[in-house]
Amino acid sequence: MAEQVEVGPRALTVENNGLNVIDDSERKGRPNQLFWPWFGANVSVLGLSYGAFTLGFGVSFWQAVIAAVVGIVFSFLLCGLISLAGKRGSAPTMALSRAAFGVRGNKLPSFVSWLLTVGWETVLTILATLATATVFERLGWGGGDITKVVALVMVGTLIVACGVLGFDLIMRMQTIITIVTAVLTVVYILLVADEVSWSTVSALPSGSTQAFIGALVFLMTGFGLGWVNLAADYSRYLPRTSSSAGVVGWTTFGASIAPLVLLMFGLLLAGSSTDLSAAIAADPIGALAEALPTWFLVPFVIVAVLGLVGGAVLDIYSSGLALLSIGLPAPRYVAAFIDGLVMIAGTIYVVFFGDEFLGEFQGFLITLGVPVAAWCGIMLADIASRKRDYHDADLFDRNGRYGDVRWLPIAIMVVATGIGWGLVTNAAAAWLKWQGYLLGPLGLGGKEGAWAFANLGVLVALVLSFLVQWFAGRSAVQAQERVS
């Protein structure tokens, strides 16, 4: 069992567990306790801003509602299914992924996972910094770069501290974040409800099928597909005898419920005001404070920052584990600290030197969403093919049953990603204009056609990788499980 570095009460103990399998003596709790970290990580008021993002695809309110329900619930169901691997293997997601890709072959998905989690924690830190600075300026407590620096120091310190200290503090923090954020978010909704104009919202014209699919896939990548690569990092602490249905159900429910409520209200707000929708593109959180009375601005900062921190804390914890899986020879808390430095550097660049937020954000989500979807399809097929729990020692042995490099899953991930990138476009992000190269040859209208922004590549990568791994990879899984 990994040693613990004592620095105070249990929640303030630096967790030294890294890629190792959690010892039976440390496995505790019930599946319903998964509700807290997943709800706390997704109760962010950023969910309100997704209303503007979704309507930006040119869909009607009801089309957006259907896209939200299907995209959010289905994508978090994928998280619930991958959480089963944590219960069955009691190791982090990126260690369990070695069973499919091989011990060293897994470095490819681990690197992609690290990019995604570091990217997400940076995005959330950027939003928290901008929101704090915006509200402080409105209160007359400062302005300009000095306010942003102070905000960044406060937010960055809280996120890095939780990531370094580890699981027990994160679980306690998420419970607090859940309660405080949920209460204050309800107050926010009540205060700005009179800004909603149902006649304006209901008059929004319907979009095309392609626009609907684009919104649906964007919501999948912005919610559940942004978490699948770390889904088992928290279920690994549960006893292996825990209910599988409970693990899947509580993960899906805990993660989905807050985004669904927030996004619905966000659709009503954004659909009522084109000015608000435009402002959200530049400052997704700060723009939501414009309609608030002055007395609620400080509570709004609390709810905004805590919600964003809740997501960033889970990301920095798992990004550290992904960095270890790539091969960093350091303890988990050192890896988390290194990721914290990368996160702060990225935040400084965007906040002080960057361009418009929304286009780069969408480009980031869709671009990394393709290889993550491919990995997710492979993992789902691999998990579904297994009848037995993972063999602990062989997850760390290149000569064990899982092998060193398993070329079939690697080839599937690479090919599915290549096809997927050829079926997505990100015109708002200049550095991604090379994508969409298959839209023309496949008769889908090219980069300017009707299918250009449907983001088909994410769905294709997910389904294609699952089917190929399921039919071509099952024999390898059966061979692994025949080893005594």
Paired tokens of 408? 């079939």
| Residue 389 maps to a domain | no
pLDDT at 8: 42
pLDDT at 166: 62
Distance of alpha carbon 170 from alpha carbon 37, whole angstroms: 8
Contact 72, 218 (CB under 8 A): no
Which residue has better confidence, 189 or 69? 69
**Taking Cα atoms as reference points, which of 46, 397, 62 lies closest to residue 212?**
62
- Look at the chain and report how many structural domains it folds into: 1
pLDDT at 20: 77
**Taking Cα atoms as reference points, which of 236, 126, 114, 228 lies closest to residue 171?**
236
Residue 18 predicted with pLDDT over 80: no
Residues 6 or more apart in contact with residue 373 via CB below 8 angstroms: 221, 225, 416, 420, 458, 459, 461, 462, 465
How deeply is 407 buried, as exposed, middle or buried, from its count of CB atoms within 10 A (0-12, 13-18, 19+)?
A: exposed
Q: What is the mean pLDDT of residues 5-14?
A: 48
The sign of the torsion formed by the CA atoms of 138, 139, 141, 147 equals negative
Band (7; pLDDT cuts 50, 70, 90): very low
Q: What is the mean pLDDT of residues 172-201?
A: 84
Residue 430 predicted with pLDDT over 80: no
Distance of alpha carbon 128 from alpha carbon 149, whole angstroms: 12
189: left (phi over 0), alpha (psi -120 to 50) or beta: alpha
- For residue 29, which phi and psi values (nearest 5 degrees)? 90, -175
**Taking Cα atoms as reference points, which of 307, 256, 311, 249 lies closest to residue 32?**
249
How deeply is 11 buried, as exposed, middle or buried, from its count of CB atoms within 10 A (0-12, 13-18, 19+)?
A: middle
How deeply is 145 buried, as exposed, middle or buried, from its count of CB atoms within 10 A (0-12, 13-18, 19+)?
A: exposed
Q: What is the mean pLDDT of residues 106-119?
A: 92
Paired tokens of 16? 């030294």
pLDDT at 250: 96
**CATH number of the domain where residue 294 is located:** 1.10.4160.10
pLDDT at 428: 66
| Residue 391 maps to a domain | no
372, amino acid identity: V
Distance of alpha carbon 63 from alpha carbon 267, whole angstroms: 11
**Angle at Cα 392 formed by Cα 387 and Cα 396, nearest 5°?**
120
**Taking Cα atoms as reference points, which of 114, 89, 60 lies closest to residue 328?**
114
Would you give the end-to-end CA distance of the chain in angstroms?
Answer: 24
- For residue 123, which phi and psi values (nearest 5 degrees)? -60, -45
Residue 1 predicted with pLDDT over 50: no
Distance of alpha carbon 429 from alpha carbon 473, whole angstroms: 36
Q: Which residue has the tokens 């289905």?
A: 74
B/e letters for 363-392, b = 16+ CB within 10 Å, e = fewer, are bbbbbbbbbbbbbbbbbbbbbebbeeebbe
**Taking Cα atoms as reference points, which of 132, 85, 94 lies closest to residue 112?**
94
| Residue 484 maps to a domain | no
Residue 14 predicted with pLDDT over 70: no
Percent of the chain with pLDDT over 90: 44
pLDDT at 2: 38
Residue 128 predicted with pLDDT over 90: no
Band (27; pLDDT cuts 50, 70, 90): confident
- Residue 301 C-beta-side C-alpha neighbours within 13 Å: 18
pLDDT digits (tens, 9 = 90+) for 225-274: 988 998 998 898 899 889 999 999 999 999 999 999 999 999 999 999 88
Alpha carbon of residue 190 to chain centroid: 28
How deeply is 194 buried, as exposed, middle or buried, from its count of CB atoms within 10 A (0-12, 13-18, 19+)?
A: exposed
| Residue 413 maps to a domain | no
Quickly count: other Cβ atoms within 10 Å of residue 186's Cβ: 12
Band (119; pLDDT cuts 50, 70, 90): confident
pLDDT digits (tens, 9 = 90+) for 369-400: 899 999 999 999 999 999 998 998 999 999 99
**Angle at Cα 122 formed by Cα 118 and Cα 125, nearest 5°?**
140
- For residue 197, which phi and psi values (nearest 5 degrees)? -120, 100
B/e letters for 34-50, b = 16+ CB within 10 Å, e = fewer, are bbbbbbbbbbbbbbbbb
Q: What is the mean pLDDT of residues 463-481?
A: 95
**Taking Cα atoms as reference points, which of 426, 311, 306, 413 lies closest to residue 370?**
413
| Residue 245 maps to a domain | yes
Band (170; pLDDT cuts 50, 70, 90): low
Q: Which residues pair with 5 in a beta bridge?
A: 14
Which residue has better confidence, 222 or 176? 222
pLDDT mean across residues, the chain: 86
Instruction: State which residues form the domain around 137.
Output: 29-358
pLDDT at 462: 97
Q: What is the CA radius of gyration of the chain?
A: 22
CA distances from 287 to 127, 233, 270, 307, 392 (A): 11, 34, 11, 16, 49
**Angle at Cα 259 formed by Cα 307 and Cα 226, nearest 5°?**
80
Which residue has better confidence, 181 or 450? 450
